[in-house]
Structure 1
């Protein structure tokens, strides 16, 4: 499964919006997901002009859920001064 495929996989059709950034049924983290798809073709712009995307996850418990990329909790896997790979450079548009 390509998380960045242009066409959404069929399993995303039954996704529910998670209020927290984890499976709404079993509370598993994204690292435990069986499949992932990120909808990069339809960004939403926030009040501060940053982009956010829908991230879809198929959990090991069978629940399919999505959340906004901007709701992702902070990570210790990258240094604070490292640019976010999902935030393009100024003027870099993905159409």
Structure 2
């Protein structure tokens, strides 16, 4: 299953809106989902003019849920320093 398919899978039709970014039934994170589909065809723009879309998850407990991409918790790697590229590694720079 491709999470970026244009056609939504059948299981998304019964998905419930999760108010927090985890399964509302078993509270597992989105990383534990068995299937994922992102509704990138219909972005919504928030009051800050940032684009967001629906992310659908089929959890291993059987619950189908969705949340806004803007509700995703911060990435654990977001505050890390970028890797430094070696200076003039091949002599091209």
> Is 1:63 matched up with 2:69?
no
RMSD across aligned positions (CA): 1.6
The count of residues paired between Structure 1 and Structure 2 equals 82
Q: Which SS does the other structure have where 1:13 is aligned?
A: helix
Q: Give the structure 1 partner of residue 21 of structure 2.
A: 21
Give the gaps of 5 or more residues in structure 1.
83-95
- Displacement after TM superposition at 1:77 (Å): 3.3
2:54 aligned partner: 54
TM-score by length of 1: 0.81
| Distance apart, 1:48 and its partner CA | 1.1
Distance 1:53 1:27, change over 3 A: same
Consecutive unaligned residues in structure 2, runs of 5 or more: 83-93
TM-score (norm 2): 0.82
**What's the CA shift string for 1:9-32, capped at 9, x where partnerless?**
111000000010000000000110
Larger radius of gyration: 2
Structure 2 Cα separation of the partners of residues 8 and 24 of structure 1? 21
